[in-house]
Chains A and B, each alone.
Chain A
Amino acid sequence: MKNLIVLFAFLFYSVLISAQASQDPEFTKGFILLGKLSNGFTSGFKSSTPDLYLGGIGLNPQITVAENVLRVGANAGMTYNNKKLSGLFGPMLALKIKTLDTKYMGSYANIHLLAEANWGTAKQQMAGGGLAVELFKKIHLGITAQRDYHFNTWWFQSFIGVSLSKSKESDD
């Protein structure tokens, strides 16, 4: 865990330095609200628990706290797993690691790392992370893996998110 924190801090620092060197249109100042649809499975690996389908919907507000680098936010959603519906809530971080751009015409996407912790109404206690692509500042596609420390299971999900907030960037 300590190594993970050091790695995250190192990534944050190096991305912050590179972002400050040039104009970056990704992870700009402001607030976004994502509507998310996720799909995946839970697995206990060596335990006797079978792999089970996992699906969910949720909202994910995020605010940029370090321009071009870091957003913090929260997850709030409903999830279906093991024939039960439960609510999931928790904080999250998004660390931009790469801006995908055209040489002269601005960017079109970014790749970012996710770190999140969630608590569920069915006593889930989870932490994990993932990798996501934000395309045209509208569509988010990603995969996440979270460990449920209470039930000793892993949650593997892919998700698609759509930005529901309106851009406030000016025209001129």
Chain B
Amino acid sequence: MKRALVISGGGSKGAFSVGVIKDLVQTYHLKFDVLVGTSTGALITPLAALGMIDKLEELYTTVDNNQIIKKYNFGQRVIDGKVSIFSFEPLKSIISKTYNDAFFNNLMMSDRDLYITTVCLQTQKLVVFTNAKNPVMSNYYQVQKFVNADQFRAAVLASASQPVFTPPVKVNESVAGDAHKDYQFVDGGVREYAGVAIAADTDVSEIFTVLHSARKFKPAANQFTDIFSVLQQTIDMFITDVSENDLLLPFQYNAALKYIQSVKNNMKDLGVSEADINKYFTLSDLTNRFQNRPPLKIHVIQPENPLGGGPGGLDFNPTEMMDMLANGRLALQSYVAQLPPDSVDWA
């Protein structure tokens, strides 16, 4: 059975995902054939693809704000016409060290398919960068294969770059012959917070999605009395809303697959032969996404309550992130505990 791991965006909240991944890999011994990362998920999934869980844990429990972003005088950035409030120099350095050329070569030789989501500011399209030899195709997003290590690192940085807060990245600047080297890319979460739809387009049967937004919504007790607090709250709403929208379509798709499977079972019970059933459901349109596709098992693991980490997870506090990581492990245990018996073969 092929499995996919989908990690959503959320900055420091990614520590929650690291807790989930740690137990999925080390306790349940799961291997993922497809990994889709958005934003902080794009930082996590390459390491997860190569099984470097300890490195992931180290990164997501030790880095602080100073190692991720460089802060400036907010007004100066606006007056000087800069492209973002913060810059990414410290994170760039971490990415260069962690995802060095040797790492990239291993990733390209790996049998795990990695998809990193970005959005192009010029075309407004969702652009997915991948090492997959036979990547998925869709009308909804464009797929580009990794060409070199610099482009890979730029794609990871772009996926993590929340527009306005951090600068857009020219992902294809290092790609010889690219017609649009100047195109700027930002966080894939602008269009696709959790890449479940991308994972569903591959040939996997089971998808593990980790979200960082809380399952239980608790109204804020405070008033929003200044521009910054309103902006911060808006970012959180934006992330939560995109998360719900992202899950809606894959769940509807899966509901349709389940419905088709039920109809086929009913037909079989009524004495229709397997060969006839297949004839009824086989069309000449080979691109039909419902054809010959069994229902997917989609697991959604998310925190019960808000994780903290500031708006969009822009606050990297190692102590808080250690709690998030522990929270991720607990959330997975709770999720597994409520699974119907025999519904999965790994727990």
For the complex, give the distance between the alpha carbons of A26 and B80 in Å. 16
Among A46-54, A130-138, A144-152, the one that faces the other chain is A130-138
Instruction: Output the nearest chain A residue to B69 by Cβ-Cβ distance.
Output: A23
Kindly provide the distance from the CB of B184 to the nearest chain A CB, expressed in whole angstroms: 11
SS of A interface (majority) = loop
* Residue pair A138, B167 in contact (C-beta under 8 Å): no
- In the bound complex, residues from chain A placing their C-beta under 8 Å from that of B310 are 103-104
Q: Are A23 and B65 in contact (CB under 8 A)?
A: yes
Distance in Å: Cβ of A105 to nearest Cβ of chain B: 5
The reply to whether A107 and B74 form a contact with Cβ atoms under 8 Å apart is yes
Binary contact readout A112-141 vs B (1 if CB under 8 angstroms, 0 otherwise)? 000000000000000000000001111000
Answer whether A108 and B66 are a contact pair too, CB < 8 Å, given A171-B83, A171-B84, A171-B167. no
Say which residue of A22, A138, A172 sits within 8 Å of B75 (CB atoms). A138
| Known contacts A106-B85, A171-B83, A172-B89: A23-B75 contact under CB 8 Å | no
Is B180 at the interface (CB under 8 A from chain A)? no
A105 to B315, CA, bound (A): 10
Closest A residue to B229 by beta carbon equals A103
Q: Count of chain B residues with Cβ under 8 Å from any Cβ of A? A: 32
Contacts of B82 on A, CB cut-off 8 Å? 171
CB contact between A172 and one of B76, B79, B87 (< 8 Å): that residue:
B87
A171 to B86: give the CA distance in the assembly, Å: 8
A167 at the A/B interface (Cβ < 8 Å)? yes
Closest chain B residue to A139, Cβ basis:
B75
Q: Per a CB cutoff under 8 Å, which of A102, A169, A171 touches B228?
A: A102
Cross-chain contact A105 with B79 (CB below 8 angstroms): no
- Beta-carbon contacts of B60-96 to A below 8 Å, as 1s and 0s? 0000011000111111111110111111110010000
Residue B232, interface by CB 8 Å: yes
Q: Could you give 5 example pairs across A and B, Cβ below 8 Å?
A: A102-B228, A106-B71, A108-B73, A136-B78, A167-B80
Given contacts A102-B74, A171-B83, 8 further A-B pairs with CB under 8 A are A23-B71, A24-B71, A106-B72, A106-B86, A135-B75, A136-B75, A169-B87, A170-B87
